[in-house]
Chain A
Amino acid sequence: MPEVLHETLAELRDAFDDARRDPSFWNSYVALMANYAGRPTPVTYCDNLTRRFGGARIYVKREDLNHTGAHKANNVMGQGLLVQRMGKRRVIAETGAGQHGVATATMAARLGLECTIYMGAEDVERQHPNVFWMRQLGAEVVAVTDGTRTLKDAINAALRDWADSMADTHYVLGTVCGPHPFPELVTYFQTIIGYEARRQMLEVAGTLPSRVYACVGGGSNASGIFTGFLDDPAVELVGVEAAGKGIATGQHAARLAGGQGRTGVAQGYKTVFLQNEEGLMRDTHSVAAGLDYIGVGPMLAHLHQQGRVRFESATDAEVVDALRVTMRSEGIIPALESAHAFAGAFREASGLSSDDTILINQSGRGDKDIFTVADALGDEGWVDFIRHKAEGYAR
C-alpha cells in the first residue's frame, strides 16, 4: 500500500475498533438495516426446485429483497455509520456490476455525502441501468478506461483518488479485499447475513443446512453467510466462482476452484490472484460483471487452504440455465452473480438425500441484468422493443 495512505488506514482501523467495542454500535446498525433496508431478509423454502432435483431440500436466503436489491447495502450502510463517526463529507467507491455503486450512491444520498463512483468502461456498457440510477441518486460516475476496463481497474482508480482526497473522503470498498482493515470490516457488516440465516434455518427448516452455497467474486456475500456457520463443522461451505467460457479456455475468473490462481500482492493486499508467472494480472471473464475480478478475499483463500470452504465453479452457460430454471420454478430472479451459487447447488442437490437441506445465498436480484440476460436467452421480443425504442429516440 502506498505510504501516503498509512495514516488514513490507521484512522479507519481506529474508528472500526472503537465502533466494534461500542456495544450500541451493532444494535444501531441492525436497527438502521431494519427500518431503512427491510432486514431481516427471509429464507425461502423452494419446494418446486426441491422436487425438480429430487434430493436435498432447497432453501434460499433472499438478499435480493434487501434495499437496492443486493447484499451490498449491508456493508455500505455500515461503512456509512463509520463515515459519520470519522466526520468525513465525501465517499468514493469502485463498482463492477454496479450494485455496490448504487448502494453507495443510496447511502450517500441518505447521509448527505458527496459521492464519486469508479466503474470500468466495459462494465458501464454492460450495466447501464445501474449507471442511470447512480446518477439519479446524485453520484458522479467515472468510466475507467485503463487496463482491462473492469472491476480491478475501477479499484485502482478509486485508490488513486483516495491517495489524494483522504482528508475528507472515505473509500467505501465494496468487497472483502484490499488493505487491512477492509477484509475484516466488510466481513463484519456482511456477517448480518449469516447470523440471520443460521437462526432462520433453525426456525424454518428445523435444522442447520448440510451445505451453504454462495457465489464468490471478491467474496463479500460468501464471507457474510459463511461466517454465520463457521463454528458448525457439520455445515459444508461451498463457494462458487465464475468459470466463464470454461476454465480450459483461460476466459474465466476462477482463482481457487480452477487451481490457476497464485499467491501474490497487489491492490494493497495478499491473496490468490489470476496472474502470470511474472506477476502480471490476467484478463478475467464472466457473464456476471460482479464476479469478473482477479483476486479473492484473503480470509476465503485461507479457509480454502484449511479445507473449511470448498470451491467450485460454474460456466456462463450453466449459470444462464440455472437462472432460467429458478425463474420458472420459483418466480425468483437471481442476479447473474447469484445464479452461480444456484448452478453449483443444482449440480449437487440430487446427490443428497431428502434429509439434507441446502441453503443458497441469493446475493442479489437479476432485474439489473435484463440486457445481458435477454442476449443470453436470445429473446427476440426484447430486441424488437429496444429497436423500436431506439428508432423513437432517433426521430
Chain B
Amino acid sequence: MSAVPGTSLESHLRGRLEDKPLLLMTHLVVGYPSLEANWTMLEAMDAAGVDLVELQLPFSEPIADGPAFVKANHDAIEAGMGWEVYFDFAARAAARFSFPIVFMGYYNSVFQMGAQRYCARLAEAGMKGFILPDLPLEEASQLTALAREHDLSPVFIMSPTNSQERLNEIGRQASGFVYCTARRGVTGRKTDLSQGVAEFMQRCRTATPVPLGLGFGIRTAADVRNVRGLADIAIVGTAGLDAWQELGEEGYRLFMKGLVAETC
C-alpha cells in the first residue's frame, strides 16, 4: 500500500526523524492573546527546537475545540482577526523560522476563500499543509488535488472511534502526516495514554506509512516522553496556551524546552 507521493512536508519530517525518535508539533491561535504574544511564542518554540507548528485561523463555530480554544477563537475574532492579518503573520513566521508551518482552521474559511485561492495563499505564505478538523475525507477530494499542485499536505485525522476499514480509507489518502486523536471528545482535556492508545496507534500504523502525530490531552513533558514509541510526532495544543497564561513568557520558554527535551 502506498500513500500519496511524498510531499516536501513528509520528506522534511522523515529527515528529522532520522536524527531523533520523536518530533514535537505545537500550536497557537493567531490573534490570541495578541499578535505580539504569538510572535514571542514562536520565538520560544524556535529557541526550544520545536519541529512543526500549527497556526489556527479563528472561526466563530469551532466545534472540534474545547473551552480554552473556543474562547481564544472568539476573543481573536472580537479583536478583529481576519484573513489578511493571518496570512501576513504566517508569511512573516515562515520567513523567519526554520520549522515548517501548517494551517489549522475550519472548512468554512476555505469554502469562502475558494479552494484554489486558499491553496495559493498558503503556498505564497510558505506554509506546508493544512489541518481542517471538520472536513470529512469524502468532501476533500477537490481540495486535496489542488493542494498537491501547490506541494501542500492535507493532514487528515484518525480517531479511536474509527473502524479499521475507515482508518485504511483515510490512510490511503494521507500525506505529510496523520493527526491521531488519542481519545474521543474535543481539545484541551487530559488523556490517560495507558488506556488503549497503543492499540489504537497500532491500528493507525497498519493503515498508513506516513508519519503519525498523536494529540489531544498531551499536556506535559512526561506525556511527551510517553508518546515515544507510540507515534512519530507529539502534538501539544491547549497546554501551550495554558502555560503562556499561567507561567508567563519565561515560564513558557522553559515549558517548550522541557517538552522538546523529551523528544531527543
Residues of chain A having any CB pair with chain B under 8 Å? 1-8, 146-147, 152, 156, 159-160, 163-166, 262-268, 275, 277-281
Contact = CB atoms under 8 A, between A and B. Distances in A.
Interface residues of B, number: 38
B61 A152 contact: yes
Interface stretch (B42-50, B156-164, B250-258): B156-164
13 contacts: A2-B159, A3-B133, A4-B157, A4-B181, A156-B63, A156-B70, A159-B63, A263-B111, A264-B111, A266-B108, A266-B134, A278-B112, A281-B60
A245 to B, nearest CB: 21
Contact of B162 (A7, A165, A266): A7
B20 interface: no
Contacts of A163: 63-64, 184-186
Interface in B26-49: none
B196 interface: no
B66 A6 contact: no
A275 B185 CA distance: 27
A6 B184 CA distance: 12
A3 B63 contact: no
A6 B161 contact: yes
Top 8 A-B pairs ranked by shortest CB distance? Answer: A164-B185, A279-B112, A279-B108, A4-B159, A281-B60, A3-B157, A280-B60, A2-B64
Given A166-B161, A266-B108, A3 B136 contact: yes
A290 B159 CA distance: 34
A66 to B, nearest CB: 31
Nearest to A283: B60
Contacts of B113: 278-279
Contacts of A8: 161
A163 B181 CA distance: 12
B162 A3 contact: yes
Contacts of B61: 147, 152, 156, 266-267, 281
A166 B184 contact: yes
B59 A267 contact: no
B166 interface: yes
A147 B69 CA distance: 12
B59 A4 contact: no
A7 B163 contact: yes
Contacts of B156: 3
Contacts of B59: 279-280
Contacts of B62: 156
Contacts of B163: 7
A3 B111 CA distance: 19
Nearest to A146: B70
Given A265-B134, A278-B113, 4 more contacts: A3-B158, A4-B159, A6-B136, A267-B63
A265 B185 contact: no
B74 interface: yes
B74 A146 contact: yes
Contacts of B136: 1, 3, 6
A218 to B, nearest CB: 15
A146 B71 CA distance: 7
Contacts of A165: 184
B109 A278 contact: yes
